[in-house]
Amino acid sequence: MGGRDMTAQAPLLRVSNLTKTFGGVTAVSNLDFELPEGKLLGVIGPNGSGKTTLVNLITGFTRPVAGRIEFRGRDVTGWPPHRVVGEGISRTFQMVRPFYQLPAYKNLIVPLYSPRVKKLTGGRYGDRSAVALDLLEEVGFERDAYVSYKKAGALPQGYLKRLELAKAMALRPDLIILDELFSGLSLAEVASIVPIIEKLKHQGKTIIMIEHRLKELFRIADGVLVLNYGRKIAEGLAAEVMKSPAVRDAYLGSEGD
Amino acid sequence: MKKRKERIDRGIKVRAQDIFALTSYREMLYLLVPGAIPVVGLLCFAPMLSNYWREVIISTAIYALLAISWDMLMCAGLLSLGQSLFFGIGSYLAGSLNHYLGLPPILTIPLATIGGGLICTLLLLPVLRLRGIYFAMVTLVLPLMLSRLVEATRILGGTEGLTGLTPFPNQLTAVFLIQIVLLVTLFGFRRIKGSDYGLVITGISDNDRSVMSAGINIQWYKAQVVFLGASVGSFAGAFGTHMDMFAGMPGFALDYSIMPVAAAVVGGVGTFFGPLIGAFILVPLSEALRALGALRIVFYGLFLVIFVVGIPEGIFPYIQRKYQQVERWVDVT
Ligand SMILES: Nc1ncnc2c1ncn2[C@@H]1O[C@H](COP(=O)(O)OP(=O)(O)OP(=O)(O)O)[C@@H](O)[C@H]1O
Ligand SMILES: [Mg+2]
C-alpha cells in the first residue's frame, strides 16, 4: 500500500507522525501510513504494541500528543467520537460490552438513532427494529430464530462478536475498524464471519482489521502494518512483511512459534 | 433435595410488548388497570379529603414530581443530590415574575417551568462530563451556594424572601393542577423511556463508550435529560411558591434534595411509578408521625430502613413482578 502509488487518487485515510503517550509509556510513536479507498489493511503486533490505542486515536476516543489524522483530506485529529462517526468511520471494541439487559436486536437501536443514519436515510428509516433484524441477519443471526430476541447477556461469544460487527455496520461507515473481532472465536466461527467481511469489501468499504489470527487475516488483507512498541516496523504485502527479520524478532518471537 | 423458586412471565405482557395480539376484554383490563389506578386514585380521592389532607396531598405531589425528575436524571446515569436546585430556581423565578412584574400564576408557572429548566441546564452544563459521585457532589453544593449568595447579596428579598405572592384561586384548583401535571409527567416520562430515544438515554448510563461510538453526542443528550428533569423540578418550585405565597431561601433547602432520593429508592429506581409511590408513602407517613414529637425522626428512619431492607428492589418493581409473573417452587436435584 505504502507510498508506492502516490500518483493515484488521494488516500481515504492518512495518518502522519501520530504519537500518543500515557505517562511514561509511548503507546504510539511517530506513526505514518496511508490507506486507499476500498482496501483492507491488517494491523498486527504483539500485545501492548499500541494497536488499540491507534484505533482510539483515529476514532476520537483519545487525543494524540502529536501528529495528524486526515480522512478524505479533512483533518479529523482530536475530534470527538460522534463527529468522527459522522464523517463515516465506525469501529468495534476489542472487549465487547453490549447492553446486556436488552434483546440483541434492540442493541442496534442506538446506532440506528445516530444523526449519521438519519442523514443518510433522509429520515425515512422506517421502523428501527425491522432494520435491526435485517442487520442481524446480515451478520449471521438466523432469521426467524429466537436468537435475535434473546437478551444480549444470554448470547454466546460468537454472537456477541457478530452483534458488535452489526453495530459498526449499522452506521453505514466508509471506513470500518475491527479491533480483534476474531479473538475468542472458534475456527468455524471465524470461517463464518470472513465472508461477511469480504462482502463489506465488495461493497467498497475500506477496512482496518486489528488481528492476532494471522492466517485468517492474511487471506483477506490487501496489506499489513506491523507495530512494535508503538512503532511501525514493517508495512507491505503479508508475505513480504513476514520475511522481515525485525518482524520475526518482535512478533513471532513473542508468539513463540 | 433443594427447592428453587421458578418465575414464569404471564404471557399477556410479553405478547403485548411488540405486537398487539390481545384477545379479550380480560386481557385488555389486565394491562390497563395498573395504569388507571393512579389516575382514578389521584383525581377522585382528592376532592373527598379534608382541607388538611389536601394540603398533605399537595406537598406529597410536589415531592413526587421532584422524585420523578430525579429518576429521569438517573436514567442517563446522572446522580443528583440537588433536586432543591430545580425547586429553588423555579420558586424564585415564579416569585420574581409575580413580585416584580406582577404576572399572574397562569403565566409565571409555565415561564418558570421552561425558564427554570433552561437555567438549571446551563448551570449544570459544565459538569455534565462528570460522572457518578463527582456529578452528585456538584449538584449537592450548587443550591447551598445559591442560597448563601441570596443571603450575602440580599438580592431577591435576601433572607426575608419575596412575600405576599398571588395565591391560587382555591385549594381544589391547586390540587387538580398539580395532580394533572404529576400524571402527565409520569406517563410522559414512561413513554419517553420506552421509546428509541429512551434506549439511547439508558444506553448512556449503561455503557457510554458504546453510545459514543454509535455517533451520538452524549453531552447533548445528557443536557436534554437534565432539561426535562429540571423543568419538572422547576414546575414543582413555581407551584409551591404560589401555594405558600412565598419564595425564599428555604426553596434551596436540603429537604427537597433528600426526600426525592429516599422516595425513589423506596419505590423503585428507574420506573417513575416507583418514586411516585415512594413519595405517597413517605410524605404522608412523615405527616402522620408528627404527633410523636421528637421521636418522629427515629420512627421515620426506622420505616425507611424497613422498606429498604425488606424490599431492596423497591416497592413498584416488587408489585410489578408479582403481577406479571407466576411463581412456583420446583425441586432441584
Ligand atoms: N488508558 C491507558 N492508560 C495508560 N496506559 C495505557 C492506556 N491504554 C493503553 N495503555 C498502554 O499503551 C500500550 C499499548 O496498549 P494497547 O492497548 O494499544 O495495545 P494493543 O496492541 O491493543 O494490545 P493487545 O494486543 O493486548 O490488545 C500498553 O503498554 C498499554 O499498557
Ligand atoms: Mg488491543
Please state, in angstroms and as integers, the Cα–Cα distance from residue A184 to each residue in A115, A156, A195, B110, B294, following that order.
33, 11, 18, 56, 63
Q: Which pLDDT belongs to residue B135?
A: 95
How close are the terminal C-alpha atoms of chain A, in Å?
27
Per-residue model confidence as pLDDT tens digits over A149-198? 999 999 999 999 999 999 999 999 999 999 999 999 999 999 999 999 99
Closest CA to B116 of B164, B79, B166, B66: B66
Q: Is residue B75 part of a domain?
A: yes
Amino acid identity, position A194: V
Instruction: Give the mean model confidence (pLDDT) for residues B208-218.
Output: 96
In a domain, B15, yes or no: no
Rounded distance, CA B64 to CA B189, Å?
Answer: 13
**B217 chain-A contacts, CB cut-off 8 A:** 80, 82
Mean pLDDT, residues B281-299 taken together: 86
**Residue bearing cell 508468539:** A255
Q: Is B2 inside any structural domain?
A: no
Predicted local confidence at residue B48, as pLDDT: 83
CA distance linking residue B108 with residue B245, whole number of Å: 13
Q: What is the pLDDT of residues B38-89, one digit of tens each?
A: 888 888 887 788 888 899 999 999 999 999 999 999 999 999 999 999 999 9
Distance CA(B94)–CA(B149), nearest Å, equals: 18
Identify the domain containing residue B176 by its residue range: 50-258
**For ligand 1, mutation pick of A22, A28, A182 (most atoms within 8 Å of CB):** A22
Q: Ligand 1 atom 19: the closest Cα is on which residue?
A: A48
Predicted structure pTM score: 0.90
Q: Which of B202, B203, B213 sits opposite A91 (nearest CB)?
A: B213
pLDDT confidence bin for A2, thresholds 50/70/90: very low
Name the residue with cell 416520562: B189
Domains and CATH numbers, chain A: 1-88+175-257 (3.40.50.300), 98-172 (no CATH)
**B313 within a domain of the structure (yes/no):** no
Among all bound ligands, the one having the nearest atom to the CA of A44 is 1
Nearest ligand by distance to the CA of A47: 1
Helix axes B51-75, B273-288, angle to 10 degrees: 140
* Residue B17: CA count within 13 A, CB half-sphere: 11
Give the span between the Cα atoms of B181 and B189, in whole angstroms. Answer: 12
What integer pLDDT is reported at residue B16 of this predicted model?
54
C-alpha cell at A109: 437501536
Mean pLDDT over residues A211-240, rounded? 92
In a domain, B233, yes or no: yes
pLDDT of amino acid A125 = 63
Measuring CA to CA, how many Å separate B67 from each of A185, B34, B185, B198, B273?
46, 20, 11, 18, 10
Distance from the first to the final alpha carbon of chain B: 6
* Mean pLDDT confidence for B272-276: 94
Nearest to residue A172, comparing CAs of A94, A96, A108, A97? Answer: A108
Q: Is residue B284 part of a domain?
A: no
- What are the distances in angstroms from CA B49 to CA B46, B52, B201, B285? 5, 8, 39, 16
pLDDT in the model for residue B8 = 72
For residue B112, what is its C-alpha cell? Answer: 418558570
Residue A70 grid cell: 486526515
Query: Judging by beta carbons within 10 Å of its beta carbon (0-12, 13-18, 19+), is residue B19 exposed, middle or buried?
Result: exposed
Least Cα distance to B260 among B137, B81, B116 occurs for B81
pLDDT given for residue A46 in this prediction: 92
How many structural domains is chain B composed of? Answer: 1
pLDDT surpassing 80 at residue A105: yes
Give the pLDDT confidence score for residue A3 in this predicted structure. Answer: 45
pLDDT tens across A144-153, in order? Answer: 778 899 999 9
Specify the amino acid at residue B203.
G
How far apart are alpha carbons A188 and A122 in whole angstroms? Answer: 39
How far, in Å, CA of B89 to CA of A95, rounded?
43
**B119 located within any domain:** yes
Closest CA to B267 of B319, B201, B198, B202: B319
The average confidence (pLDDT) of chain A is 90
- Region B253-270: mean pLDDT is 92
Dump pLDDT digits (tens) for B102-117. 999 999 999 999 999 9
**Model pLDDT for residues B300-322, shown as the tens digit of each residue:** 888 888 988 988 889 999 988 88
pLDDT at B13 over 70: no
B307, B299 Cβ separation under 8 angstroms: no
Q: Is residue B4 scored above 90 in pLDDT? A: no
| Structural domain includes residue B317 | no
Question: Per-residue pLDDT for A29 more than 90?
Answer: yes
CB pairs under 8 A between A and B: 72
Residue type, A100: Y
Closest chain A CA to residue B203? A99
Tell me if A52 CB under 6 Å of ligand 1: yes
How close does chain B come to A122, measured CA to CA in Å?
16
